[in-house]
Chain A
Amino acid sequence: MLAKLRLWSTYFKYALSSILYNRLIYAISVGTIAISLLIFGAFVLLSVNVRTWIQGWGQTLSISVYLKDGIDEGTRERIRTAISTLQGAEIKGYISKEKALQDMKGMLGSQAGLVDGLTKNPLPASFEVAFRNADRKKFEPKRIKEALEKVPGVDEVQYSEQWLDQFEGLLYVLKVAGLAIGGLLCVAVLFLITNTIKLAIYSRRNEIEIFKLVGATDWYVKAPFLIEGAIQGVLGALIALGILSVIHLLLSFKTIQVFGLPFMDFMFLTQSHALGILSLGLVLGLLGSFIAIGRFFKF
């Protein structure tokens, strides 16, 4: 047991001294692994967040109630009351015709001049309504739409389910793209680690010959290279996670507002996702050096 421990400390010593000796090659390799895992991690981070947002939106579905032109204040207040009686409904705001035009100008930006040519404001006034904590399955926007459109003064009701479905699609695309790009990057990382270890083996081939000469076991010769590979992979993964957390920190300073909905939190990777990326680095490192060793050693 003690002899085993001594041998392992020797393996680590060899691995570390080899890394120091070939430090430039290792730095380049670890850097590239970090960048690859960073790209992969960014995809994971993005899809985790998009999923959370979608779940968040699912709980606060929103509808827009457009009003007919020229209705009086009494009618408008009756509509407001009608909306308030709906279960879970909360009026987020009233957008007047003028405000709607203003918003439109803002969205058009440099093309805002187009609106100036209008003789009459074509945009309707509207109430923005959110349904808090609504169960998406039980939520029946169609029924609400029909009910509200019967209220005098209401022109049309639009709801948000359509673009929610589109976001589900986006999530799927993100997942597939992440997996495809991640897979390709993994192959590249594997190739890189294999080559780095091959170079390390090559630069120590005389040493290896002498080790075998004095009766070192195959494992004694190979273990340091496996450790070198593992260190590369884990180091690359740690750097990638570090950069990701810095990016996350920078992004969370600016809370993101989408489609006039409540502020969204930008989440970091869950512990299991972070551990996943770390183990991916470890496995790639071990596998890469394993391949290199297999190609090189024929005792």
Chain B
Amino acid sequence: MALKEIDLRIRTGEFVFITGPSGAGKTTLLRLIFGAEPPTEGQIVINGINLSRISGTKLDLLRRKVGFVFQDFKLLSRRSVFQNVALALEVTGEKRSVVRKKTHQMLRAVGLAAKEEAYPIELSGGEQQRVAIARAMINDPLILLADEPTGNLDPDITREIMVLFRSINLRGTTVVIATHSRELLRNTDQRIIVLHGGKVLE
């Protein structure tokens, strides 16, 4: 069992780091919040909705309000930057004109307006992560979850990405970042949750 006796409350609009050594349960905690796996015991409540009480399509709909960013970006290699970001809107059955407009806006916001037609393989790691963040943000999520989002990036790019997360948080989105990077945590005044052996140390 990766996590035990977790009692955690993250407020709306908070910016939270989750840290701890490898295997401490950081990824598991994020996956639980995302509803990717159910807790064996207890409950997870997001915005008043108990995750263990919903399933199927309702869970899918809730996921549109929770953005997820990964260390390995998880972009579709056969699709352009624009198509990768637009996908998150297309699955909702949104009008094509709205999809186009919002995707353009979002890519401008993350500084990738010039690379809309490029394919992921043609981008740097930092750019790929910004595509992933744009995709996670396009449905105006309540929560943005990020699992080691700067794990593959060099320090300069890491700073850029963190600035992007801050600005997203300032617009009201709750941001939860799992990382084991001390560098990332050194100069922050945000709340840090420390996990060890599946328990919260704080």
Q: Do A and B bind each other?
A: yes
User: Taking A210-B74, A214-B135 as contacts, is the C-beta distance between A6 and B68 under 8 angstroms?
Assistant: no
Q: Are B76 and A210 in contact (CB under 8 A)?
A: yes
* Interface flag for B96 (CB, 8 Å): yes
Q: Are A215 and B63 in contact (CB under 8 A)?
A: yes
Q: Are B87 and A215 in contact (CB under 8 A)?
A: no
* Interface flag for A167 (CB, 8 Å): no
Residues of chain B within 8 A (CB-CB) of A217 are 57, 60-61, 91
Instruction: State which of B61, B87, B88, B96 has its C-beta within 8 Å of the C-beta of A6.
Output: B96
* Interface flag for A181 (CB, 8 Å): no
Chain A interfacial residues counted at CB < 8 A: 20
Interface positions of B from 176 to 198, Cβ below 8 Å from A: none
Interface positions of B from 57 to 115, Cβ below 8 Å from A: 57, 60-64, 68, 74-76, 87-88, 90-96
Q: Are A216 and B91 in contact (CB under 8 A)?
A: yes
* Interface flag for A150 (CB, 8 Å): no
Residues of chain B within 8 A (CB-CB) of A2 are 95
For the A-B complex, the count of residue pairs with Cβ-Cβ distances under 8 Å equals: 52
User: Taking A207-B76, A209-B74 as contacts, is the C-beta distance between A214 and B95 under 8 angstroms?
Assistant: no
* Interface flag for B56 (CB, 8 Å): yes
Instruction: State which of A3, A209, A211, A219 has its C-beta within 8 Å of the C-beta of B87.
Output: A211
* Interface flag for A4 (CB, 8 Å): yes
Distance from B98 Cβ to chain A, minimum over Cβ atoms (Å): 11
Q: Are B63 and A218 in contact (CB under 8 A)?
A: no
* Interface flag for A213 (CB, 8 Å): yes
Q: Are A220 and B95 in contact (CB under 8 A)?
A: no
* Interface flag for B139 (CB, 8 Å): yes
Interface positions of B from 35 to 71, Cβ below 8 Å from A: 56-57, 60-64, 68
A206 CA to B87 CA in the complex, in Å?
Answer: 14
* Chain B residue at minimum C-beta to C-beta distance from A6: B93
* Interface flag for A7 (CB, 8 Å): yes
Residues of chain B within 8 A (CB-CB) of A211 are 87, 91
User: Taking A213-B68, A217-B57, A217-B60 as contacts, is the C-beta distance between A3 and B93 under 8 angstroms?
Assistant: yes
The 6 closest A-B pairs by CB, nearest first: A215-B64, A3-B93, A215-B63, A214-B88, A216-B91, A217-B60
Q: 28 pairs across A/B with beta carbons < 8 Å? A: A2-B95, A3-B93, A3-B94, A6-B93, A6-B95, A6-B96, A206-B74, A206-B76, A209-B74, A210-B75, A210-B87, A213-B63, A214-B63, A214-B91, A214-B135, A214-B139, A215-B60, A215-B61, A215-B63, A215-B64, A215-B91, A215-B92, A216-B91, A217-B57, A217-B60, A217-B61, A219-B57, A220-B91
